[in-house]
Amino acid sequence: MISYKELRTVTPHDPFMSGDNLSYFVVAYFPKADLMRILRRGMSIPSEEIMAREFPTAKQRKGMIPFLTLYSRCNNVREHIFDVTVRPYLEINFFFPVIYTYKGEEHLCSFMPLLYLDRLFHTVGGCLLGLRKQFHPNLRFTETDTLCSFHLENILSASFPDDSMQEVDEVDPFITQIFRKPTLTYSYFHKTDFYTTQVFDAKKVYRASADFEWNCKGTVIKSDEHTFCNFAEYSFTVSRAMSYKKYFYPKYPVDWEQITEIQI
């Protein structure tokens, strides 16, 4: 646990949690009409012009919007204030590009509507931080000589063939741009929260193939010829949850270039 003197110097943008992940980053497409039904107050879908400018490597498809899914094995995840390291766990989360509007100001954010986890303690802890985490003890990861797979009965199934792995220098720019934007959530407490999320120190990066099917509240999303995937081993940090004003107008100096610098 850090000392009271150290605690006084910690700001909300500083890392609150950190860890090491092995993740498949899957970029796929979601129907805009269905996404509108899960967006919350103040959120809207970015225009085609904004998407083309901010995410140039993502193909523009009529009526669809690209989104990012992380299929992760999480290790050495540590909460900094109390210096607690939790057990390894599985996590699947989702990021959607959205425009958040507040009193006439617009910000391009990465909306994280929910996460799936296989550990109850981690799920409860995330809820206390304002994250919409769902506890699924039947979430399974399987690794064989030919592929890795994640399975959540009646909700999600994804497989990643080993023979599709090709080493590359860096992850696709769509993925890095997602993490450069403010992470936006809508908590169980009906609050809109913002986080600083950073990923860095990638030890290996591969281009991979992904075959998946996700049932999101009746909307079934499947991989197709436009789906692309990267695999990476990396470290991450996440800040505390912040209100709009605390995130964008803090009462202390913020190095925004450092916050938005992604080194993965």
Give pLDDT, residue 130: 66
The continuous run of DSSP H or E covering 175 comes out as helix 173-180
Domain count within the chain: 1
CA pair distance 65, 30, nearest whole angstrom: 5
Residue 40 scores a pLDDT above 80: yes
What is the pLDDT confidence band of residue 96, given thresholds at 50, 70 and 90?
very high
The answer to the question of residue 7 being in a domain is no
CATH code where residue 187 lies:
2.40.400.10
CA pair distance 202, 95, nearest whole angstrom: 20
Give pLDDT, residue 261: 77
| Residue-wise pLDDT tens digits, 60-94 | 999 999 999 999 999 999 887 778 888 999 999 99
| Residue-wise pLDDT tens digits, 107-128 | 999 999 989 999 876 666 666 5
The answer to the question of residue 54 being in a domain is yes
SS3 readout for 121-165: HHHHHHHHCCCCEEECCCCEEEECCCEEEEEECCCEEEEEEHHHC
Domain containing 162: what range?
Answer: 13-259
The answer to the question of residue 124 being in a domain is yes
Q: Which of 38-47, 130-139, 166-175, 179-188 bottoms out in mean pLDDT, i.e. has the lowest?
A: 130-139
| Residue-wise pLDDT tens digits, 147-206 | 999 999 999 999 999 988 999 999 999 999 999 999 999 987 788 999 999 999 888 899
The answer to the question of residue 1 being in a domain is no
Please give the single-letter amino acid code of residue 79: E
Give pLDDT, residue 125: 62
